[in-house]
A = this chain, B = another copy of it.
Amino acid sequence: MSTPPRSRLRATDARLPLTTAAPPEGTRRRILETALQLFASRGYHDTSIRDLATALELRPSALYAHFAAKDHVLAELVRIGHEAHFEALETAFRDAQPTPVAQVRALVHAHTRVHAEHPQLAMVVNEEFYALSQELAAPAQVLRDRANAMLMDAILRGQAQGQFAPLHPAITAAAIVGMGSRIPHWFEPGGPIEVEALANTHAELALRMLGHASST
């Protein structure tokens, strides 16, 4: 933050609610909500403890009653984000018809919804993840790998069963996952595009990329 007036934000700086994976109320929750907003719009390294305290109308030292250090706040947000994401994918997968097409559709739909409904969390999870030490990032990394595996697994089963004709499964999977990651960079909640429409469109785009016949 600091002195030079930065007018452009990376992401919306609206005050968005946290997911249910966060603590329900109290100062700890307020800190997380405010940090989320600041980390998303200015970045972790460009947000100081003083910026955070100022936005909370607290003194910097007060934060240390709730978090051991600045990076623990980020780690908690990253954890919350990954848990919300993973749970959404797991639920979608469990509720889908047990076919690769249905599963990919469900996974991409859920992946998109999470990114569009929680763009700040998605921004922090995707862009500020690398500011964490390996130790603090580890729990999130596990979920990240499992989520990717779910999608890759469905793609490969679909290919084996002849429903998909991917040009290159790994490249295509990266493209599909990336479609979601980019959402907070351009999507505006409350704008002209509905979250549900976006999720459906992304699901169909994924199937098109995979060469699924009926998706024209």
**A167 on the interface (CB 8 Å rule)?**
yes
Encode contact with B along A190-211: 1 for CB under 8 Å, 0 otherwise. 0001000110011011001101
Q: In the complex, A172 Cα to B59 Cα: how many Å?
A: 46
**A95 on the interface (CB 8 Å rule)?**
no
**A20 on the interface (CB 8 Å rule)?**
no
**A127 on the interface (CB 8 Å rule)?**
yes
Give the one of A178, A181, A186 with max B CB within 10 A: A178
Return the chain B residue nearest A210 by Cβ.
B208
The reply to whether B211 and A137 contact each other, CB–CB distance below 8 Å, is: no
| A213: chain B residues within 8 A (beta carbon) | 216
Q: In the complex, A14 Cα to B155 Cα: how many Å?
A: 32
Encode contact with B along A16-53: 1 for CB under 8 Å, 0 otherwise. 00000000000000000000000000010110000000
The reply to whether B167 and A178 contact each other, CB–CB distance below 8 Å, is: no
Give the one of A45, A46, A137 with max B CB within 10 A: A45
**A55 on the interface (CB 8 Å rule)?**
no
Q: In the complex, A131 Cα to B165 Cα: how many Å?
A: 41
CB distance from A192 to the nearest CB of B (A): 9
**A157 on the interface (CB 8 Å rule)?**
no
Known: A5-B133, A167-B201. A186 touches B174 (CB 8 A): yes
| A10: chain B residues within 8 A (beta carbon) | 130
Q: Beyond the given A178-B178, A208-B209, please list 18 additional residue pairs across the A-B interface where CB-CB is below 8 A.
A: A5-B133, A8-B137, A43-B45, A43-B130, A46-B131, A127-B127, A167-B201, A167-B205, A168-B193, A168-B197, A171-B201, A171-B202, A171-B205, A172-B201, A174-B186, A175-B175, A175-B182, A208-B208
Task: Name the 6 nearest CB pairs between A and B, nearest first.
Answer: A178-B182, A45-B45, A10-B130, A45-B46, A175-B179, A7-B134
